[in-house]
A and B are shown apart, each in its own frame.
Chain A
Amino acid sequence: MIHCPRCGAANPDDGKLCSVCGQPLPAPTAGRMKCPRCGAENDSGAVFCDECGARLTSASPIPESEPTQRVPIKGLSLPKKQTGGLAPSSLPDASGDIPEEVPPWLQKLLLTYGLVKPEEEEEPLSLQDRVAEPGREPEPAPLAEAKPEDLLAVPREPGEKPVPVEPEELEEPEFADWLQALRSEGEGWEQEAEEAKETEEIAPPLAEVEVSDWLRSLREPEAKVAAEPSDATGLELEEEELPDWLRDLGESGAEAEEIPPLVEELPLAEEEELPDWLRDLGEPGAEAGEIPSLVEEPPPAEIPVDEEELPVVEVPPAVEFPESPVASVANGEELPEWLAELRGGEFEEETIVSPVETTPAPEVPTFAEPEGEEMPEEDEEIEIPEWLQEIKGMEPVLTEDVPGEEAAPPDWLTQPTMPDVTIEEGEVRVPDWLQGPVPADSEVTIEDKDTAPPDWLQEMGAPVLPPTEIEEEPAAESPSRLEEPQPSTEVPVGEKVPPFTSEGLEEFAEIPESRAPEGPPVLEEPLAPPEEPVAGAEEAEGLARADIPDWLLALRPRESGEETVGEQEIAELSGPLAGIKGVLSVEPIISLPHLTRPKAVAVEAPPISGDLFAEIVAQPPVSTVAVPRRARARFVVGVQRVLIYLLLLAAVVVPILIGPIYGPADAKELQAGAESFYAFLRELPADSVVVVAFDYNPATAAELSLQARAIVDHLMRRGVRIMAISLYPEGAALAGDVLYELAEEWGYIYGQDHIHLGYLPNQPASVRRFLDVGPAGEGQSDYRDGQPVSQSAIAQGVNDLSSVSLVVELAGDESTLRTWVEQITARTGVPVVAGVSAATAPYVQPYLDSGQLQALLVGLPGAAEYEAQAGRKGKAIDSLGSQVAAQAVIVLLILLGNLVHLVTRGGEK
């Protein structure tokens, strides 16, 4: 049986790949097992390496003494937290408080990521679900399988005590149906995990794990990358699933055969997409002190927790491992405060307990811990994942010169990026994961003190580190994590916290592959085998091209042109940008104080304002005689109005002065208009009684008086008796003027031939009564003398209206005419003729058309026509010339006004 160096699963001796995680298995050495860390051969049954103490098999189950401290892990919630793109992967970096030494912009980033979760969070959730799902079917993963996910899942602050939370309660609402279904299938996995812990199976029966076909198919490609475990891990992360920037990270990491977490996170290989400041991170000279900032940049930093194995997680006191990019913290390991805080802040609600904390690291022989660093759980064994050890053992170059006491970066971290890197004593050690972009074959010696990590990083362990050679970390360490979920991955206490990106990605990729039966296509895609396994150090398998998220770009705190400071000449050593100059290294940008905004340059403004103002003020005021436009317009309008008045006056006066335009010959032409009216009166028998109603007032007397004069004259000429009446008080007076004048002319006797009945109230009722009782009815008195009409001679024989031969209505308005017509038409058949004002003619015409009016005279022309018909040239004919001239002027003015309006387009011109 060969235990998988990655997940610890037991595999047949002849197996080449882990049946669970697809990790290339070390060649069996006749019952000997090669230490994945130091390469020393140990007995196959050995748990720890004889040489370095690294754990050869998967982590041991959680000690039974701590179950009380366990907190139920929300298996399903873990994935969610890791979803934060880059951040979720690198759990160790994401947790903890932001050190004071961290530049402000970095703190800002940290806070931002802690508070704001990018959109990518959801993807990891699905992956996590997968992890949770498959975890149930196979046996519970041992403690050694503590994955980065587990660390990520710990959402607590360093000093916070684990709070048990029911995973189902918290997780249920957050998962999709299909995820819940998967979860339901795997229910009980926690119990299994508990059982497994009780049995303390160091190496879980990985062989028994049933891996679905599709997962196996995904594993196959990894075999090709067996030589490079890092590649293999990275391959598992599908290009589609992983963001581009993560892929790039993987690629860059592949170059160095060991992808340092930071390198993985930062798409150093990206040309266009990576910001310069991110590219700098990948430069060989990148300082470890700045790395955490990068690590923190990814939004949600989560410590993955193996839910199956470690349902109860105890968050240890803050232990800073700035150098350790390990994705999963081993049992008892303390996360840096800032890391823990990030974790806690992001996933406060989640009660996922990281296995690292709950299970003290049993053995940490190879991982040097920082001196003087507070490591309450330092004594605890730090379990190096078997798969890590395996990988380490497979590494061609392994420098294990790191003293055990020193807080050296984990081997698996240092190796992938800088296999040959040696850090001189007294120098600040550059985290391995920062050296990712450095080619594997390149030796980088950090001598510059300036590049030392910031104090806060040093406090976390970096400063304490003595000069040590950075051990080569198994290349598969971080990439593999990115690519595949590693249930057995554990980070021992004191181990460097790997960058969040690579680890989180690993988890994402690993989980689905190893456990998830079959997820939705979207999730399956990332699990597809890498198309091209990393060949050499060019590309990291499984790492997609990095696409810096917008939010990350937006947070980029640099000035324009800053990236070109001193970095143009540096050629990129790894990744797709290898050989390209101008790629910024990580260190300079990070080390330099960041200026979020370019300094404002004060430009002295020309002193022109004051002089110009004084000059303008000094100018003499320009006298602007503003002619009020309104007054001028009013004047113009007034002039035009006066002109119209004068024109009309001329049109009226001139005909009067020159004499009537109509002569006797012309009068015949006017006869036609009043022919019917004249003919009707001509037919009246002599001595017949005619009622003439003078229903007009001075307003219309100019027309109707002429008509009345012509009509009365005609009637008197015919000897017809006339009874005058008016519905207007003024009409009574006007009637008397006409009647008395013509009566005197024709010798009519008042009361015998004619009589003035006076005023009749203008009401239908009064007219009705007048028609009922007759002109000589009771109470009717004459206008002139006030005597009863009945006593007059003219009233003899006129008892009612039937005795009246004709009613002549001289109406100034239509109302009086309507009253007469209606009442007469409704009650009697007395014929009615009307002479009306021109303004009333349109209203009266229908009565003429209907036959209710026997004849009609209209206005001054009607009077003139009647005069012409009667053969008596009167004032009407004399005034007709002025009437015609004035009307012509009016017509001309109207036409002229319309023409001007058209020409001037409504006055615009």
Chain B
Amino acid sequence: MTDLLVDLLTDFGPWLAFALTLMVFSYLLGDNPLFRIAEHLLVGLALGFAWVVAWHSVFLPRVVARIGSRNPVDVGYTLVPLVLGALLLLKGRGSGLKISSLPLAYLFGVGAAVALGGAIFGTLIPQIEGTMLSLNPADYLADYAPEDVWYPVTNAIFIVVGTVCTLLYFAFTAGGRSRLGRLRGKLVQVGAGVGRWFLMFTFGALFGSLVMSRISLLVERITFLMNVLGF
């Protein structure tokens, strides 16, 4: 039975994928049932596949296997998160039990702590350090040839200026009425203008990258279809 199914999927699987791909492409002509069917299939299969993966990768080895080991320590360590997970299910029913918030509190607390630590020490500080670039070409002579020093220097200028000006663009506070305040306001205004252009280039790059990514997907799908068709 299993072999038969595997053989069927092996033989007709590409055609099934071909048909589903065309059904998804049919959305180019407008919303239609074929697209909806393919969409629903995708969602259902993705969810089912995720459940299977979670069962095999998480529940079996980390819950069932540990409880089946009959080791009190392992069982104890397993039941606590299991109970917390069961309480989490109560949230789905809108239960007003405060105890159901316990797993969420634990998740958010631990998750925030871990994420915050990672964000600070993995993104914020390193990124700030990354913008503290030297604009002195001599500092790059070790890594670059003298004729190529302009590249890291120019890159450093762009990074520094782009970062500062982009941050100034989101500075919504104006300068005061004092002389210094007016000067500050002027600087912020100019910097924000430059930062606006950096943002525009960034958005353009994002858009171009997204287009490039989707074109790659199109190419892959068309290549698949052509392969199925024998090209």
Closest chain-B Cβ to A58's Cβ sits at a distance in Å of: 81
The answer to whether A838 has its CB under 8 Å from any CB of chain B is yes
In contact, B222 and A826 (Cβ under 8 angstroms): no
CA of A818 to CA of B127, assembled, Å? 12
Chain A residue numbers with a CB within 8 Å of B65 are 779, 781
Min CB distance A138 to B, Å, is 71
- Within 8 Å by CB of B57, from A648, A732, A763, lies A732
Contact indicator per residue, chain A 680-703, by CB within 8 Å of chain B (1) or not (0): 000000000000000000011111
B124 to chain A: closest CB distance in Å?
9
> Which of B2-10, B90-98, B188-196, B206-214 contacts its partner?
B206-214
CB distance from B70 to the nearest CB of A (A): 16
Residue B141 interfacial (CB < 8 Å): no
A263 to B61, CA, bound (A): 125
Question: CA–CA, A441 to B61, complex, Å?
Answer: 140
B213 pairs with A882, CB closer than 8 A: no
Complex partner residue of B114 from A765, A780, A781, A860, CB under 8 angstroms: A765
B113 CB to nearest chain A CB (Å): 9
Contact yes or no, A890 B129, CB < 8 A: no
CA distance A617 to B130 in the complex (A): 83
Binds A, one of B33-41, B46-54, B170-178, B179-187: B46-54
Closest CB-CB distance, A736 to chain B, in whole Å?
11
Query: Size of chain A's interface in residues, with CB distance under 8 A?
Result: 64
Give CA–CA (A838, B216) in the complex, Å: 9
Interface: B99 (CB within 8 A):
no
Query: Is the CB–CB distance between B231 and A887 below 8 Å?
Result: no
User: Is there contact, CB below 8 Å, between A838 and B130?
Assistant: no
Chain A contact residues: helix, strand, loop or mixed: helix
Main secondary structure on B side of the interface with A: helix
Chain A residues, CB < 8 A from B216: 702-703, 838, 859-860, 879, 883
Cβ B57 vs Cβ A781 within 8 A:
yes
A783 within 8 Å of B by Cβ? yes
Residues of B within 8 A of A768 (CB): 114, 118
Residues of B within 8 A of A354 (CB): none
Closest chain A CB from B196 CB (angstroms)? 17
Q: Are B122 and A852 in contact (CB under 8 A)?
A: yes
Greatest chain A CB density within 10 A among B28, B120, B122, B214 is at B122
| B212 touches which of A701, A760, A883 (Cβ 8 Å) | A883
Complex partner residue of A890 from B111, B121, B211, B217, CB under 8 angstroms:
B211
For residues 795 through 846 of chain A, which have their beta carbon under 8 Å from a beta carbon of chain B?
818-819, 821-826, 837-842, 846
Q: Are B66 and A779 in contact (CB under 8 A)?
A: yes
Q: Write out the residue numbers on chain A whose beta carbons fall within 8 Å of the beta carbon of B110.
A: 765
Residue pair B219, A652 in contact (C-beta under 8 Å) = yes
* A821 CA to B205 CA, complexed, in Å: 22
Contact A759 B58 (CB under 8 A): yes
Q: Given B46, B120, B122, B210, which contacts A839 in the complex, CB threshold below 8 Å?
A: B210
B95 to chain A: closest CB distance in Å?
A: 24
Interface residues of A in 713-749 (CB under 8 A from B): 729-730, 732-733
B126, A825: Cβ atoms closer than 8 Å: yes
**Cross-interface CB contact of A729 among B54, B130, B222, B226, cutoff 8 Å:** B54
Report B102 CB to chain A, min CB distance, Å. 16
Q: Contact mask A757-772 → B, CB, 8 Å, 1/0?
A: 0111101110010000
Asked whether any CB of chain A lies closer than 8 Å to the CB of B115, the reply is yes
Contact B209 A839 (CB under 8 A): yes
Given known pairs A781-B60, A842-B205, the reply for A887 and B212 (CB within 8 Å) is yes
A580: interface (CB < 8 Å): no
Q: Which residue of B lies closest to A701 (CB)?
A: B220
B58 and A786 contact, CB distance less than 8 A? no
Who on chain A is nearest to B163 by CB? A846
Is A890 in contact with B118, judged by CB distance below 8 angstroms?
Answer: no
- Pairwise interchain contact A759-B222, C-beta atoms closer than 8 A: no
In the complex with contacts A653-B226, A764-B111, A765-B110, A823-B219 CB distance below 8 A? no
**Docked pose: A514 CA to B219 CA in angstroms:** 116
Q: Is the CB of A702 within 8 A of B210?
A: no
Contact of A758 among B46, B57, B111, B123 (CB under 8 A): B57
CA separation between A649 and B22, bound complex, in Å?
13
CB distance from A881 to the nearest CB of B (A): 9
- Let me know if A882 and B60 touch, CB within 8 A: no
Residue among A642, A840, A842, A852 having the largest count of chain B Cβ atoms under 10 Å = A842
Contact flag A826-B117 (CB < 8 Å), given A652-B219, A838-B209, A887-B215:
yes
A645 within 8 A of B: yes
Q: Are B206 and A839 in contact (CB under 8 A)?
A: yes
A472 to B217, CA, bound (A): 122
A460 CA / B205 CA spacing, docked (Å): 105
> Quick one: closest A residue to B115, CB to CB?
A764
Q: Is the CB of B49 within 8 A of A699?
A: no
Contact A729 B50 (CB under 8 A): yes
In the complex, whether B32 has a CB less than 8 A from a CB of chain A is: no
Complex contacts, B53 vs chain A, CB 8 Å: 729, 732-733, 758-759
Are A837 and B57 also in contact (CB < 8 A) when A733-B49, A886-B218 are?
no
Given A653-B226, A729-B49, A838-B213, are A759 and B206 neighbors across the interface (CB < 8 Å)? no
Neighbouring B residues of A826 by C-beta, 8 Å: 117-118, 120-122
Answer yes or no: B223 CB below 8 A from chain A CBs: yes
Q: Is the CB of A879 within 8 A of B223?
A: yes
Closest to A845 in B: B205
The answer to whether A859 and B212 touch (CB under 8 A), given A653-B222, A699-B217, is yes
A879 touches B111 (CB 8 A): no
User: Within B113-148, which residues are at the interface with A (CB < 8 Å)?
Assistant: 114-115, 117-123, 126-127, 129-130
A579 to chain B, nearest CB (A): 78
* Interface assignment of A560: CB less than 8 Å from any CB of chain B: no
Q: List the A side residues contacting B149 at CB < 8 Å.
A: none
Q: Tell me, rounded to whole Å, the shortest Cβ–Cβ distance linking A578 to chain B.
A: 77
Most buried by B among A648, A878, A879: A879
A788 interface contact, C-beta 8 A:
yes
Docked Cα-Cα span, A763 to B108, in Å, equals 11
B88 to chain A, nearest CB (A): 14
Shortest beta-carbon distance, A444 to chain B, in Å? 86
B159 at interface (Cβ–Cβ under 8 A)?
A: yes
Q: CA A821 – CA B117 in complex, angstroms?
A: 12
Known A-B contacts A648-B218, A700-B213, A842-B209; A786 and B122 likewise in contact (beta carbons under 8 Å): no
How far is it, in angstroms, between the C-alpha of A860 and the C-alpha of B56 when the chains are bound?
32
A822 in contact with B127 given A656-B226, A781-B61 (CB within 8 Å)? no
Task: Find out whether the CB atom of A882 lies under 8 angstroms from the CB atom of B223.
Answer: yes
Given contacts A786-B60, A826-B118, A852-B126, contact A839 B213 (CB under 8 A): yes
| Contact of A169 with B by CB under 8 A | no
A623, CB-defined interface residue at 8 Å: no
- Please indicate the chain B residues that have their CB under 8 angstroms from the CB of A611 in the complex: none
Contacts of B119 in A (CB 8 A): 822
Also in contact, A764 and B118, with CB within 8 A (given A649-B222, A729-B49, A882-B219)? yes
Q: Does A849 contact B (CB under 8 A)?
A: yes
The 9 A-B residue pairs with the shortest CB-CB distance, nearest first, are A822-B122, A850-B130, A822-B118, A702-B220, A781-B61, A729-B53, A826-B121, A839-B213, A729-B50
A sample of 18 more A-B contacts (CB under 8 A), given A823-B114, A841-B209, A851-B126, is: A700-B213, A729-B54, A730-B50, A758-B53, A761-B58, A764-B111, A764-B114, A765-B111, A780-B61, A822-B115, A822-B119, A839-B213, A840-B209, A842-B206, A846-B130, A850-B127, A883-B216, A887-B212
User: What are some 28 contacts across the A-B interface (CB < 8 A)?
Assistant: A642-B29, A648-B218, A656-B231, A701-B220, A729-B46, A730-B49, A732-B53, A758-B53, A758-B56, A759-B58, A761-B58, A768-B118, A779-B66, A783-B56, A786-B61, A819-B118, A822-B123, A824-B122, A825-B122, A826-B120, A826-B122, A839-B206, A846-B127, A850-B129, A852-B122, A852-B126, A879-B220, A886-B218
